[in-house]
Amino acid sequence: MKPFYGVYHTGFDEWEQHDRIMAEYIWIDGTGINLRSKSRSLPDKIEELSDLPEWNFDGSSTEQACTEDSEVILKPVAYFNDPFRGGENVLVLCETYSWTDESRTKLKPSNTNFRHFSEPIFEEAEEHHPWFGIEQEYYLMECSNAFTQWPLGWPQGGFPSKQGPYYCSIGATTCYGRSIVDIHYRACLAAGVNISGTNGETMPGQWEFQIGPCEGISIGDHLWMARYLLGRVSEDLGVAVSFDPKPIKGDWAGAGGHVNFSTIGMRQEGGLKEIYEAVEKLSKKKKEHLDLYGLDNEKRLTGKNETCAHDEFTCGVGDRTASIRIPTSVESSKMGYLEDRRPASNLDPYLVGAILVSTCVSEESKHEKPMFEHFEKWRAERKALEN
């Protein structure tokens, strides 16, 4: 595969690698939304996951360990083509683990390793073939430095005209950042990420890409890799990316991570009955779901800007103000999927996918409690740091 983007057009991408490849190891840091990565050389082309060795990093620099015991282990869980370096080079998504004690004989999942806890929930539901599609909204931000950011296309320190002209817009006065979006789209396709589309959103500088359909835990792998690729593309073009659910206060749109979900039963003839049964189950676990659906999500779920209030639960056909939307095509064909519109743009896809499966398929998996306990411990740590 030849690289197609940015600095890699300068010619050095054609230099001989002498049968070695570059592997970029990628992981989620202690914030639960930011990604980190570092590179290493490997002797052969990667044919399967087991060809990728474990590695480690300094967790005291990523909010994942203390300085006195800073080593965090990287365990590869998925790999993709590297569209930036091309050739046989790869991007490696990793889970993170820490040692349980000084004997260094046993590992435990690190603070943001929610994939580890979600995996057994997905495995329980394999026979139901749960499919997911995630609509990832985000903001492109102008940034002269890390501390002064403002949405792309907005007057510096001011506000644009009211929302309306920007959704799926075309033209220099309404559309900002299309080149970044298109390069990211191509990067995802080249990497092998299952991206299904993009569109401009309701606020200037706000965009969306869609990942899926993906089955089971792979939805998390593909969404995180798509986020990594977006970060790399925007980095080279001097623009920041924000997954904040509500970066601009007031009557401006927030950013969601709507999740489309179905089982094989929902997708078959007469599946609408199973869809409504799932909605009924979801209505009884409103709080549990919202706890896992993204930090600061209550700032977005106000009942305005195509959201349902965070303390309510509603379902409607074609209704974008509902908690759960049943697409009109699904209602008509009596089979398909449901859209959970509550998750925020900073959602962890492993957590959200797992709790949907646990509620709608397993009817509260026995593995749900350990996942919640790990999440609550991490959330308490985050709140302590903020205070």
Q: What b/e readout covers 63-95, taking b as 16+ CB neighbours within 10 angstroms?
A: bbbeeeebebbbbbbbbbbbbbbbbbbbbbbbb
Task: Supply 33's token pair.
Answer: 């939304």
**Residue 386's pLDDT is what?**
79
| Position 6, amino acid | G
Work out the angle at residue 148's Cα, subtended by the Cα atoms of residues 247 and 205, and round it to the nearest 5 degrees.
Answer: 50
Neighbouring C-beta atoms of residue 219, cutoff 10 Å: 26
This prediction's pTM: 0.96
Dist CA 297 CA 227 (whole Å): 19
Residues 6+ apart with CB under 8 A from 309: 301, 302, 303
**Residue 103's pLDDT is what?**
67
**Residue 1's pLDDT is what?**
63
Taking the CA atoms of residue 360, residue 363, residue 367 and residue 370 in that order, the dihedral angle to the nearest 10 degrees is 90
Dist CA 214 CA 307 (whole Å): 25
306: burial class by Cβ within 10 Å (0-12, 13-18, 19+)?
middle
| φ/ψ (deg, to 5) at 169 | -80, 165
Q: What is each CA distance from 344 to 258, 289, 291, in whole angstroms?
A: 7, 12, 11
Alpha-helical segments (H) within 101-259: 114-124, 178-191, 218-236
Helix (H, G, I), strand (E, B) or coil at 256: strand
Dist CA 78 CA 211 (whole Å): 16
In a 13 Å sphere around the CA of 47, the CA atoms on its Cβ side amount to 2
Domains and CATH numbers, the chain: 6-111 (3.10.20.70), 123-386 (3.30.590.10)
Dist CA 2 CA 186 (whole Å): 13
Task: Supply 19's token pair.
Answer: 């049968």
DSSP 254: -
Work out the angle at residue 169's Cα, subtended by the Cα atoms of residues 146 and 183, and round it to the nearest 5 degrees.
Answer: 55
| φ/ψ (deg, to 5) at 4 | -130, 5
Q: What is each CA distance from 8 to 13, 117, 251, 253, in whole angstroms?
A: 6, 38, 42, 36
Each of the 387 residues of the chain gets a pLDDT tens digit; together they read 666 555 555 667 778 899 999 999 999 999 999 999 999 999 999 999 999 999 999 999 999 998 888 999 999 999 999 999 999 999 999 999 998 877 677 899 999 999 999 999 999 999 999 999 999 999 999 987 767 788 999 988 788 888 889 999 999 999 999 999 999 999 999 999 999 999 999 999 999 999 999 999 999 999 999 999 999 999 988 899 999 999 998 888 899 999 999 999 999 999 999 999 999 999 999 999 999 999 999 999 999 999 999 999 999 999 999 999 999 999 999 999 999 999 999 999 999 999 999 999 988 889 999 999 999 999 999 888 877
**Residue 3's pLDDT is what?**
63
